[in-house]
Amino acid sequence: MTDLAFTHTEADRLPAAEREALLADPGFGNVFTDHMVSVVWTKDAGWHDAEVIPYGPIQMDPASSVLHYGQEIFEGLKAYRRADGSIVTFRPEANARRLNESAVRLALPEIPEELFVAGVRELVRIDADWVPSGYDQSLYLRPFMIADESFLGVRAAERARFMIIASPAGPYFSGGVKPVSIWLSRDLARAGRGGTGAAKCGGNYAASLLPQQVAADNGCQQVLFTDSATVDTIDELGGMNLFLVRADGTLLTPRLNGNILDGITRRSLIQLAKDRGHAVEERDLTVSEWREGVAAGTITEAFACGTAAVITPIRQLKSEDFAIDFGESGPGELTMALREELTGIQFGTREDRHGWLSQI
Ligand code: PLP
Ligand code: COI
């Protein structure tokens, strides 16, 4: 438990007309709200100085550990505005738990879950006018933790800062719910056994940027990582988990093998699919199985999922020497049904049977 309360320093808010103009077409990750959350941790004093303050640049000593050794972790979750004007967040306590799992791996301090959730609530409450109401729009929340001790020795920092920033967002991929192409990264890996693949740390994303560039050069929107030894056992995409759908309605997704993120969207979809009576297999899954399954007509759909991506249908997997292609048929039926159900729960047109929503 924590009895830490947030103080609030009011910002010079952006005038309403300018805010509304930005909310009309925010894109993803371009625009930020008027405030941000900051909480400080020191080895001696623990978590303290919980504040909601005006959004803006932060001062940091150039010797801060995060700038040299990448001691950083983050989260991503969304707040949704519903037809009646109310605002909800989706499973924030799951993000708090996962941040703490990442913290353990990156030798950062764990933060009390209720402090994380209270920070999310405070920021969304104070910047509620920034939660957009357009189709497929939401307020993307980015909690993160950085080590900011000024010390160049290589050890876990004794000072850290937890922050939350918020960004009104439309779809992550431009073009609506259009099937995307993904590129199989052969020589460039993101994670390996015993590494940080299961943590949500900046370093994993830094490692994915060059393969992501290669993907873009080959006309693909995302990159698929596999186990680097076999280049066949599927891990995940640069910023999303992956599902395949069999013709008999079974969902297939890589098991949590230590290299991939335990996605909250992934977990939610497994539950929703089981509720509908679908079998779900969490196991090792290979590119070969995908390729052979599509050729034989036994694998009929593929999709990516994550907070930013929601559920994005996949049309094809490309590599230097082959492509697995579902053709022009458009998004798969089960892909779209699950997407409709998940977003329906988030936007309040479907019942929240599992108690996933928190009212702001
Ligand atoms: N895998 C990676 C590497 C991600 O960055 C994300 C996005 O957060 C996911 C999976 C999906 O996780 P979640 O559904 O919790 O957003
Ligand atoms: C998220 O979905 O929250 C992520 O962190 C992934 C990133 C591609 C934006």
Q: In angstroms, what is the span from residue 240 Cα to ligand 1's centroid?
A: 5
- Sign of the CA dihedral with 138 first, then 139, 140, and 141 last: negative
Which tokens sit at 267?
């977990």
Contact 34, 55 (CB under 8 A): yes
Same-domain pairing of 319 and 257: yes
Rounded Cα gap, residues 84 and 172, in angstroms: 25
The CATH number of whichever domain residue 198 belongs to comes to 3.20.10.10
Q: In angstroms, what is the span from residue 174 Cα to ligand 2's centroid?
A: 15
Say what percent of the chain tops pLDDT 70: 99
**Best substitution site from 196, 223, 240, 271 to test ligand 1's pocket, by max atoms within 8 Å of Cβ?**
240
Containing structural domain, residue 303 = 180-331
200 within some domain: yes
Looking at this predicted complex, what is its ipTM? 0.98
Is pLDDT of 59 > 90? yes
Q: Does the C-beta of 345 come closer than 6 Å to ligand 2? A: no
Same-domain pairing of 155 and 263: no
Helix (H, G, I), strand (E, B) or coil at 72: strand
Same-domain pairing of 189 and 274: yes
Q: Can you give the pLDDT at residue 2?
A: 66
Residue nearest atom 7 in ligand 2 by C-alpha distance = 239
Closest by CA to 166, choosing from 102, 213, 122, is 122
**Best substitution site from 138, 172, 208 to test ligand 2's pocket, by max atoms within 8 Å of Cβ?**
172
Same-domain pairing of 136 and 214: no
359 within some domain: no
Same-domain pairing of 208 and 156: no
Q: From the CA of 238, give the closest atom in ligand 2.
A: 8
Which tokens sit at 72?
């950083």
Q: Report the run of H or E that residue 225 belongs to, with start and end.
A: strand 222-226
Same-domain pairing of 69 and 192: no
Same-domain pairing of 296 and 259: yes
Task: Tally the domains of the chain.
Answer: 2
Contact 252, 307 (CB under 8 A): no
Q: Can you give the pLDDT at residue 176?
A: 72
The CATH number of whichever domain residue 103 belongs to comes to 3.30.470.10
123 within some domain: yes
351 within some domain: no
As for ligand 1, residues whose beta carbon falls within 6 Å of it are 76, 236, 239-241, 261, 263-266, 306-307
Same-domain pairing of 157 and 26: yes
Same-domain pairing of 233 and 126: no
Mean pLDDT of 82-96: 97
100: how many CB neighbours lie within 10 A of its CB?
18
